[in-house]
Amino acid sequence: MLTFEGCPHAQPALDLARRVVAETGVEATVRRVDVADDTAASAQRFLGSPTIRVDGRDIEPGAAERDTYVLSCRIYRTPDGIKGEPDERWLRDALRAAT
């Protein structure tokens, strides 16, 4: 998971990732990577915090087409409305596809 220090959605997203990995039984390492500045955001193709990736791919559908890399909070348009964390189903789908 990519984030930056002080992001209010980082911990809930990290908790989500750890819980879903544990529930699915997928062997995966969940780790937090703090993006330090705009240069690092561009280098890491950072779409905002939090960004969860599985095997290097962003779990949000359609994220691969985006190319605005910024050091800012990320808003997700989920089936349940606007949130600061990605939809749990996206993570489950990404983990399933990676196994």
Provide the 10 A C-beta neighbour count for residue 81. 7
Q: What pLDDT is recorded for position 59?
A: 97
Whether the pTM exceeds 0.75: the reply is yes
Tokens of 79: 């089936």
Number of domains making up the chain: 1
- Domain with 9 in it: 2-98
Q: What is the mean pLDDT of residues 15-33?
A: 95
Per-residue pLDDT band for 99 (boundaries 50, 70, 90) equals confident
pLDDT of amino acid 25:
92
Strands (E), the chain: 2-3, 33-34, 53-54, 57-58, 76-78, 81-83
Q: Is the pLDDT of residue 43 over 90?
A: yes
- Condensed to tens digits (0 to 9), the pLDDT of residues 48-96 reads 999 999 999 999 999 999 999 999 999 999 999 999 999 999 999 999 9
